[in-house]
Structure 1
Amino acid sequence: MGTISPFAPKQLPHLPVIDGVRIAVATAGIRYAGRIDLLLALFDPGTAVAGAFTRSKTASAPVDWCRAHLAHGMARALVVNSGNANAFTGRSGRATVERTAEAAARAAGCLEADVYIASTGVIGEKLDAGKIAARLPGMAEKAAPGAFEDAARAIMTTDTFPKLATRKAKIEGVEVALNGIAKGAGMIAPDMATMLAFLLTDAAIEPHVLQSLIDPALDGSFNAITIDGDTSTSDTLLVFATGAAARRGAPRIARAEDKRLEGFRAALTELMRDLALQVVKDGEGATKFVAITVTGAETREAARTIAKSIANSQLVKTAIAGEDPNWGRIVAAVGKAGEAADRDRLAISFGSIEVARDGEVSPSYREKDGAAYMKRREIEIAVDVGVGKESATIWTCDLTQGYIAINADYRS
């Protein structure tokens, strides 16, 4: 890890125990000596699971495993390692996943189909399954409720702080808890999921209902962030629902349209956005947190595409890093997005400062005001493209020398 992000929380949130979940971590020496790099989570029988994964055509072996087993809808164990992504590792990678699943199933006393696996780290290097399999029996024995901070630290790679969040919701008057951990700082441009994120709840929700909640929540969270425009081979989001709240009188939800889910749906969406924004705030080398909102687009998807074009523009991101209010780079990013935009109605604002309107610099704009605004740690850029009524927001960060240094030395 390099310099701690300026957005790192002064105090990490305390996550409550989730009934039906036990956690253990270990130092397996997968890439770095003396660093926690292995997580095992065990779930009570009857735990439902849902998820989403990268659409990358070079997805990792663990992604293939999880995707193949997700329809089963039930989970008893989760194994996650950091330091090695087990991606682009061919037959060896598949064999490693299979051996890990076998060892985890034996340790947890469950079917291999009930085991979910995720890996993060360097691509193209073989992962020694023996380092993982040898530690799982002991981890299963010592697994205990809580330990979410340890779990979040175990899945970190270039992250500078662990990412945790918690929410509560009521289902027919019974309170349920939702906890989440995530990792990610580079290779962030999610496509259907995030880098790695694991959410746990004691709510009693059937797998297909849980799955129906994920995509809408992703849309305004993990799929609305970008750090560098590079989608990972390992993107994995998994949500586990133990159902333990049923013992306290919570109903078992079996229909996606059940109105009793409204509070839970809102809490899940908030939790996912919280984690997603933490990922952006820990962007490799980041010094600025940036919200880009596009309005006046033909469709919501068009607004997202334009906002992503701005957010992923290296020229825009380096200007922000240099605290240069170079709004011309924003105009260029809008133009290259490939979506409808009226050049002569284009409007741009930095926070409350009107920079441009009707396709040219605003009469009230002063460069010194824009420069002063760019010195802020958190920046809001608003663009109206003047062709419709749809809008979208994408969150990103600046691009600094720190990003280059981290990635130039990543395998060293």
Structure 2
Amino acid sequence: MDIFERLESEVRSYCRSFQTVFTKASNARVWDKAGKEYIDFFAGAGALNYGHNNPRIRAKLIEYLLADGVTHSLDMATEAKETFLTRFKSFILEPRKLDYKVMFPGPTGTNSVESALKIARKATGRTNVICFTNAFHGMSLGSLAATGNAFKRKGAGVTLSGTTFMPYDQYFGTLIDTTLMLEKLLDDPGSGIDQPAAVMLETLQGEGGLNEARIDWLRRVERICRDRGILFIVDDVQMGCGRTGTFFSFEEAGLSPDIVCLSKSIGGYGLPMALTLIKPEYDVWHPGEHNGTFRGNNLGFVAASEALDYWRTPELELAIAASSRVILEFLHRMAAKYPKAITEVRGKGLIQGLVFREPSYAARLSKTAFKHGVILETSGPKDEVAKLMPPLTIEEHVLKQGLERIETALHEVLDSVQLAGAAQARA
């Protein structure tokens, strides 16, 4: 790791947690220079829903490259983009009775969020945006202003403005409906809340600690927006593309957002790509008013077009549901075994995790699991959640092997804590 420590910026983070040099990967497994195998329960922070080096997608990429296909095109028309747009409409939008114009804002999730904020403000003529506690929307200034994490906000170096934070579902517990507060403040001329251009949320907060909003709460937020002419934005950058079990995370709730942000796994192969889906009546951009040099990543279009083929049949959704049940049963078993250390099981689909009473245990579990050959990360405002997020395509035997390794690691962490506590008590 010496070369990275000497030459790479101090801003690097994941390589500090997973200190090895990786050389190859296949679906849910990666190997380092020493040949050690790791089971990937992180999946590129959700950018690898279809696994590492998916053979179906790889074959299309190789075929395209060998045929001298266009790789970079700004927003010019290409055959690769045409294929993607056609398949996205046919395989994703039409079956779900959704009507959106597709914007390519730039290659990352924060690009999608920035463009969503801009178009909402342009379409309404208003500037304020309502966002929620523990939200994470990106690291550029506009999206960071809508992000709740104090550590990440501090990195901005300037005052972040243009947003108003409201409590997310169950922020005060299960008995308090926080939409009542939102509604009251919006309607009270003395609240000090400027009429917003939009309300933006994640249906399940990934970086915020796997907080899942209840369906009724989501529907009430959407109704509040509809009644007041406020645009409703769903940030599906991490939870979209099947992570929660359906292609969009809001399908179960029957929502119809005005704007949807997609990135990460929309690129199919871990390639940079992002979409901003805009209802046609709000697509009021002037040509070139929002652009980006790499919004025409044709390799992303090729990979994404092939990845969409997974959604032509219910096979992948059924596989996600089956893997989800395996993970959920495992997590509840661990929570029952260690009730003093684990307070809650959270999440949905193939993003689930354990909430630890002592936040440092989550990081210790991540470190120990890595030693046993599993890559998993933490989330939450205090990094108190150990998060399991494998590829959607993970094989059943690999999933179970990974869970066995996590169980071994969990035993090591909590047994060492118990031994230390017993020694302290004797002293």
Q: Give the structure-2-normalised TM-score.
A: 0.24
Whose helix proportion is higher, 1 or 2? 2
Highest relative contact order (Cα 8 Å, sep 6+), 1 or 2?
Answer: 2
